[in-house]
Structure 1
Amino acid sequence: MKKALVFGSTGNFGSSTVKALLESGWRVSVFKRTQSKLNVNDSRIEVIEGDINHTKDISVACEGVDLIVYGINPPYTQWRSNAYQLLDRIVSVVEQKKLHILFPGNVYCLPTSNVAIDEATPLSSQTEKGDIRLAMEQRLKKAATKGARVTIIRAGDFIGGQDQWFNMTFKPTKRGWKMASPHDPQHQHFWSYLPDLCANAISAAEQQHTSFEVFHDVGVVATIDDWKKAFKANDIELTAGRFPWWAITCTSLVVPLFKEVLEMRYLWRSTLVLDGTKLKTTLAHNYLSTSLHKIVGDTLSHQQKPVNSLNVINH
């Protein structure tokens, strides 16, 4: 049985990938800080304690591993100081041990476009965070020339993960649900449903024999009307209002996180959709794709109480 080691197992991509690995029959280890509050109730998961800042701890954890899953994503306010550095430390070990690493890419290092973007599109950053993500992808590509095997799967904003501020987008009302839309009615926004994304990512990594591959998630492209139709298909009325960008703008003067969020607002104003033909073709009948109305239904059905927020989160 193949073994995977997951860094960032409590995050959105990491935790969903742990589930996908277990469902695919993998042995799974998760790396955690000593004295951390990570609670693992599944006997199939091995917990390895260590310090992510110590290369020796990382190296020991990687012994006997077939796949490294990189699920680490520091808060926006820590990207300048930590994002690239954390990746570089782990990738250095991956190079040395000639391991396979799975990395969740995003759209920050891609140009906006009125047509779907495929994997051959040249990278193009529009923000400082885009510069960081571009550098991270370049580091991974370099690793592939030094003995590592690299799988990058680029995705949009996540649906179906853990609670984050973006849960404010959907709220229950007495008559149904209300959407505080971050974009105008015409905008087509790109989302990635975590259960599908992570299962497809594992399948792609399992089939890969080359040293470096990039895949784009097909995801879900939705307008406000598409969300309304998806809720209606579940017999729920959805009304739409405006997301309070004005409040984010005002408080960004004193809240550093909101300043970082505003830098990415262009993604709610311009079109950036990925072409996932390569991934669909590679996986063929193993490719998973859940419709938006089923995503809504499944998400709401898993809520413990009907008044909880729909789990829609920002990548």
Structure 2
Amino acid sequence: MASTALILGITGGFGCEMARALRQHGWQVRAMHRKPKAAARALGDMGYIDWVKGDAMNAGDVREAAEGASLIVHAVNPPGYRNWAGTVVPMLDNTIAAARETGARILFPGTVYNFGPDAFPPIAEDAPQNPKTRKGKLRVEMEKRLEAASRAGVPVLILRAGDFFGGTRPGNNWFAQGLVTPGKTLRSISYPGPHRVGHQWAYLPDMAETAARLLMRCDEFRPFEVFHFGGHWLEQGIEMADAIRYASRNPDLKVKRLPWLALTLLSPFVETFREMREMRYLWQTPVCLDNTKLTNFLGREPHTPLDIAVTASLAGLDCLPDGTTRQTPVLA
């Protein structure tokens, strides 16, 4: 019988792509959502999902949903960075409690937010975690709780990556919120950092496929296992804008600076802008996760060429001219 994976946060980018990747690798996929019927309609063609109703903030709901699952994908996050301090740790605690009772492994998508400038670059899995932001400190606390859980018998896999982009649910990330405007044909590109500062991007279908392949060999893991996903490292960060120009068939598309001053002035009133402003240092310093451990373990990392990944991402955001087809990702 196929193993069952419970996905929390399936309507987000990583959760949705994990559902697809796990299904392709033979898993039974279960998803918990407060409004499962509405979520199923939003995801469209994912009829293979076993939906259960529940709230990740409710420990009993998570425990019940996890019954019989051998994996819990903890991909749930408050949209738009809202109320992180009041939600992310309680939700993770509920997942840990459910995994402890059911014997499930936890898969957690990590980020570079854990790290401060003292860790750059490149960043190894065991690099010191001295974040300078509230969100980064929360990320560190979450990983500490997962490591403590692993010592108590809960197996944990963390896959850290750079800034997410692409996938079926591509909206809640820097690509969609900072560089382009979803639902509008491109007239310009906003770029958050200096053009020559390197930046790392994680194409979500590739990242999810990587996690699925790692899970195929989970019997080789330690109780607490961390890998870094390389994705697309752009030595000149502005290469992402060039890729967007190419995908939109408009080489003269104007590149504007992200209006940091406006975000700063509005940050006391808009929580999303406040959180984005805190992350500015990640655009001012080269941020490169070292994926040597991952490639030594798997042999190679699944990788879709940047032009195909960006075209698919823009098509998913309805940012391309009429008639532009969405290209299929190529996983090497």
Alignment TM-score > 0.5, same fold = yes
Identity, % of aligned positions = 33
The residue aligned with 1:211 is 223
Distance 1:189 1:219 in 2: 11
Q: Does 1:128 align with 2:157?
A: no
Please list, as runs of the form range in 1=range in 2, the aligned pairs for 1:1-315 lying within 5 A after superposition: 1-33=2-34, 37-40=38-41, 41=44, 42-75=46-79, 76-112=81-117, 113-161=119-167, 162-164=170-172, 166=174, 167=176, 168-170=178-180, 178-209=188-219, 210-222=222-234, 223-231=236-244, 234=247, 235-237=249-251, 238-285=253-300, 287-300=301-314, 306-307=320-321
User: Alpha-carbon deviation of 1:78?
Assistant: 0.9
What are the superposed Cα offsets for residues 250-282 of structure 1, whole Å, 9 maximum, x if unpaired? Answer: 111322331222111111112221001111221
Q: 1:228 to 1:156 in 2, by over 3 A?
A: closer
Length-normalised TM-score, structure 1: 0.88
Distance 2:150 2:32 in 1: 23
Give 1:22's aligned amino acid: R
Name the SS for the 2:38 alignment partner: coil
CA RMSD of aligned residues (A): 2.6
Length-normalised TM-score, structure 2: 0.84
User: Alpha-carbon deviation of 1:206?
Assistant: 2.3
User: Alpha-carbon deviation of 1:228?
Assistant: 4.9
What are the superposed Cα offsets for residues 84-138 of structure 1, whole Å, 9 maximum, x if unpaired? Answer: 1110111012122221010001111123344211112122221111111111000
Q: 1:303 to 1:156 in 2, by over 3 A?
A: closer
Structure 1 unaligned regions, length at least 5: none
Give 1:201's aligned amino acid: A
User: Alpha-carbon deviation of 1:302?
Assistant: 5.2
Name the SS for the 1:116 alignment partner: coil
Which stretch shows the higher mean deviation, 41-50 or 15-24?
Answer: 41-50
Distance 1:303 1:263 in 2: 25
User: How many residues matched?
Assistant: 307
Distance 1:304 1:79 in 2: 28
